[in-house]
Amino acid sequence: MKNTYIQDVTLRDGMHAIKHQYGKEKVREIALALDRAKVDAIEISHGDGLKGGSFNYGFGAHTDWDWLDGIADELKHAKLTTLLLPGIGTIEDLKRARDLGVTSVRIATHCTEADISKQHIEAAKKMDMDVGGFLMMAHMNDPNNLATEAKKMESYGADCVYVTDSAGALLMDGVVDRIKAFRQILKDDTEIGIHCHHNLSLGVANTIVAHQAGANRMDASLAGMGAGAGNAPLEVLIAVLKKMNIHPNCDLFQLMDLADDVIRPLQERPVRVDRETLSLGYAGVYSSFLLHSERAAEKYGLDTRTILNELGKRKMVGGQEDMIVDVALDLVKNNGSNP
Amino acid sequence: MSKRKVAIIGSGNIGTDLMIKIMRNSELLEMGILVGIDPASDGLARAERMGVATTAKGMDGLIELPIWNEIELVFDATSAKAHAHHHSLVEKFPSKRIIDLTPAAIGPYLVPVVNFSEHGDLQNVNMVTCGGQATIPIVAAVSKIAKVHYGEIVASIASKSAGPGTRANIDEFTETTAQAIEKVGGADKGKAIIVLNPAEPPMVMRDTVFTLSEVCDQDAIRKSIHEMVESVQKYVPGYTLHQEVQFEIIPEDQAVFIEGLGHRHGLKTTVLLQVKGAGHYLPEYAGNLDIMTSAALATGERMVSLQNA
């Protein structure tokens, strides 16, 4: 088993929870505190990756460049990382992030579309970056086919490939089967990662069973700060790992303090399992759709859950936030019930 | 007036679909030859079955053939890299024109309903991207009425309709489309997003256009968009407004922060489009293929009409 590797996503996935509105100083404060608490990697960008700022996903309070600027020089322990979704960000954007000291990147595609990451993974490797392939909405592809996509990313040069449960819809068996399928088909020196959402309250449990099945890179965020019901809460995950005698490096009390004192006060809409976020996991819908669907529900006088169910039924994938208003308008035509 | 002979370079999805459209629909153009580089390609086999001349020796092979003398118009449906070479070959024959369906953009971007009259007499024009052909007319329709600060488009296409060329060059789509939103659509700043959806049965192409403009008469914008949709429908019958145009005022105290522009407020217009293909080479979900080849065909026909006039 490779070394256990904890990547914090508070400053990337967590962007979704506050409509990408972290102030530049707040990002710096949180990143440096995470570094002191000794996480292995800190991911910073718009929630939808580099250049995600848009009407479709929400404009950020700052550009990715402003958020990233100056952080790398101050980190003593953790790697500075970022996220890129082909179709949204470009290789030019990745170069700019590299110039700001980013040394690791995840290239994210839908779980059946790994081949659109070839250009970007190869470019990142040429820049000497550590590269993760990020197969989103992993519940929408079966273990063997998902592993075939992972193999493609490995062949382009990815150092690690992730099972990314963007909808928080996978149960524990579903996670284990996918990690095992990866382990079977990937080279021994390719790492495996797990990224969970807590919509069915399985964020930590799914991360732990993934680790037991062979995933060494684990994503988590302070107080779960992330899309939907959030990610595996970092402080909880570390507590559980410590009780399992794994990864004693992170400072648990520092992480608890950060979660409660710094992160929770930022949450205008609490990041928790409730009827809306539970519906994401239940219907298998991209967690980032949450706030956009709540806004559409309010504007058009609908129940958020009705919108989410319909999005799930139409098999919308990550990035299709524009279809939320489309679905809402269709529902209005049908008097608020699913057509 | 007899039909003008054309050559199509590239025997993939785009080249083959364009060939079928020319043979079925065009009163002004006729197929001279389909040019590929893979003798085993499905497109070349299809052309032979349809009685169209073919060569698998590429553009270099084409100019050695007697039929080259009869070709007036070349459609390039290969790749950006290959197009640079093809352009250098055609350039030496000033009477021949080239319509570039790759993202190479050696010639200016052309969206027939928006700016044909500016560039229709040039030797080389570029057709932007499928998403650009679907969305830039809408940005331009808003620009006719109000100053557009920002234009953003989201193209969702069925995974099955994205060929290997598209998949290997996603950045070319986002970069080319964003530039053309500015240059042709008239926005100060453009942004383009593309999403592939693997749902079965495959989803019909969807395009969403967001603009942020100066606040102005919403009825005038709505009318301008409806007129533009009707103009595009003349060459892409499956191009429709999927929902009525949506408006939202973004007040000054809730201005949005747009990279490259800073804080902007005004009128947000949202246009939800659907592009259903004609079902020529690929089924009707592949509106992305259809709008590209239909726009290229419309451009070629307009060029010929201009010469005839």
State the pLDDT at residue A50: 98
> Quick check: helix, strand or coil at residue A150?
helix
Co-location of B228 and B144 in the same domain:
yes
Nearest-CA residue of chain B relative to A319?
Answer: B195
Instruction: Identify which of A55, A61, A314 has the shortest CB distance to residue B210.
Output: A55
CB contact under 8 A, A53 and B246: no
CB contact under 8 A, A322 and B169: no
Co-location of B164 and B282 in the same domain:
yes
> Quick check: helix, strand or coil at residue A85?
coil
Domain, as residue range, for B14: 4-127+290-308
State the pLDDT at residue A335: 76
Domain boundary residue, one of A266, A296, A319: A266
Which residue has better confidence, B104 or A9? Answer: A9
CB contact under 8 A, B206 and A323: yes
Instruction: Identify which of B195, B203, B242 has the shortest CB distance to residue A87.
Output: B195
Co-location of B71 and B143 in the same domain:
no
Residues of B in contact with A59 (CB under 8 A): 256-258
CB contact under 8 A, A51 and B270: no
Co-location of B217 and B174 in the same domain:
yes
Co-location of A307 and A180 in the same domain:
no
Helix (H) or strand (E) holding A190: none
Q: Measuring CA to CA, which residue among B238, B280, B294 is closest to residue B43?
A: B280
Residue A283, domain member (yes or no): no
Co-location of A60 and A144 in the same domain:
yes
Q: Measuring CA to CA, which residue among B51, B11, B58, B12 is closest to residue B31?
A: B51
State the pLDDT at residue A336: 62
Asked whether B198 and A137 are in contact (CB, 8 A), the reply is no
Co-location of A131 and A42 in the same domain:
yes
Q: What is the DSSP letter of B271?
A: E
Co-location of B22 and B160 in the same domain:
no
Cα–Cα distance, A99 to A95 (Å, whole number): 6
DSSP codes joined into one string, B28-48: SEEEEEEE-S-TT-HHHHHHH
Tell me the pLDDT of chain B averaged across its residues.
Answer: 96
For chain A, residues with pLDDT lower than 50 are none
Indicate left, alpha or beta for A157 from its phi (over 0: left) and psi (-120 to 50: alpha): left
Q: What is the CATH number of the domain that holds B73?
A: 3.40.50.720
- Nearest-CA distance from B61 to chain A in Å? 30
State the pLDDT at residue A112: 98
Co-location of A90 and A185 in the same domain:
yes
3-state helix, strand, coil in chain A (%, to 5): 50, 15, 40
Co-location of B299 and B272 in the same domain:
no
- Nearest-CA distance from A247 to chain B in Å? 38
- Nearest-CA distance from B290 to chain A in Å? 21
Is some CB atom of chain B closer than 8 A to the CB atom of A148?
no
Number of domains in chain A: 2
Cα–Cα distance, A42 to B177 (Å, whole number): 32
Co-location of A255 and A134 in the same domain:
yes
CB contact under 8 A, A322 and B154: yes
State the pLDDT at residue A1: 65
Is some CB atom of chain B closer than 8 A to the CB atom of A315?
yes
Instruction: Identify which of B196, B243, B244 has the shortest CB distance to residue A110.
Output: B196
Co-location of B85 and B226 in the same domain:
no
Residue A180, domain member (yes or no): yes
pLDDT at residue B208 is higher than 90: yes
Phi, psi (rounded to 5 degrees) for B119: -125, 0
Helix (H) or strand (E) holding A280: helix A275-283
Asked whether B235 and B295 are in contact (CB, 8 A), the reply is yes
CB contact under 8 A, B193 and A59: no
Per-residue pLDDT reduced to its tens digit, B172-198: 999 999 999 999 999 999 999 999 999
Residue A212, domain member (yes or no): yes
Q: What is the CATH number of the domain that holds A294?
A: 1.10.8.60
Burial of B223 (0-12, 13-18, 19+ CB in 10 A): middle
CB contact under 8 A, B198 and A86: no
Q: Which of residues 83-122 of A touch B (CB under 8 A)?
A: 86-88, 90-92, 110, 112-113, 115-116, 118-120
Residue A152, domain member (yes or no): yes
State the pLDDT at residue B301: 97
Average pLDDT over residues B240-249: 97
Co-location of A313 and A227 in the same domain:
no
Co-location of A146 and A225 in the same domain:
yes
Burial of B287 (0-12, 13-18, 19+ CB in 10 A): buried
Residues of A in contact with B191 (CB under 8 A): 51, 54
Domain, as residue range, for A309: 288-333
Burial of B114 (0-12, 13-18, 19+ CB in 10 A): buried
Co-location of A197 and A300 in the same domain:
no
Phi, psi (rounded to 5 degrees) for B69: -60, -25
Phi, psi (rounded to 5 degrees) for A125: -65, -40
CB contact under 8 A, B191 and A59: no
Co-location of A155 and A83 in the same domain:
yes
Co-location of A193 and A65 in the same domain:
yes
Co-location of A163 and A209 in the same domain:
yes
Per-residue pLDDT reduced to its tens digit, B153-169: 999 999 999 988 889 88
Residues of B in contact with A115 (CB under 8 A): 164, 167-168
Co-location of B244 and B134 in the same domain:
yes
Q: What is this structure's pTM?
A: 0.96
* Reported confidence tier of residue B117, pLDDT bands at 50, 70, 90: very high
Co-location of B144 and B123 in the same domain:
no
Residues of B in contact with A329 (CB under 8 A): 243-244, 246, 272
- Nearest-CA distance from B171 to chain A in Å? 6
Sequence-ordered list of residues with C-beta below 8 angstroms from that of A162, at least 6 positions apart, any chain: A106, A132, A133, A134, A135, A192, A193, A194, A195, A217, A219
State the pLDDT at residue A337: 63
Q: What is the DSSP letter of A250?
A: S
Residue A223, domain member (yes or no): yes
Residue A280, domain member (yes or no): no
Instruction: Identify which of B159, B171, B212 has the shortest CB distance to residue A112.
Output: B159
Residues of A in contact with B164 (CB under 8 A): 115
Number of domains in chain B: 2
Cα–Cα distance, A306 to B256 (Å, whole number): 29
Per-residue pLDDT reduced to its tens digit, A311-329: 999 999 999 999 999 999 9
Asked whether A231 and A207 are in contact (CB, 8 A), the reply is no
Co-location of A202 and A313 in the same domain:
no
State the pLDDT at residue A248: 66
Co-location of B210 and B279 in the same domain:
yes
Cα–Cα distance, B260 to B247 (Å, whole number): 24
Domain boundary residue, one of A266, A296, A318: A266
Asked whether B23 and B31 are in contact (CB, 8 A), the reply is yes
> Quick check: helix, strand or coil at residue B300?
helix
CB contact under 8 A, A116 and B191: no
Q: Which residues of B are catalytic?
A: 130
- In degrees, rounded to 5, the angle at the alpha carbon of residue B78 between the alpha carbons of residues B73 and B82 is 95
CA distances from A70 to A25, A49, B118 (A): 11, 19, 46
pLDDT at residue B91 is higher than 80: yes
Q: What is the CATH number of the domain that holds B212?
A: 3.30.360.10
Co-location of B135 and B192 in the same domain:
yes
Long-range contacts formed by A310-314: CB under 8 A, 24+ apart: A310/A338, A310/A339, A311/A283, A311/A285, A311/A286, A312/A283, A312/A284, A312/A285, A313/A283, A313/A338, A314/B199, A314/B203
Co-location of B160 and B242 in the same domain:
yes
Residue A277, domain member (yes or no): no
Residue A304, domain member (yes or no): yes
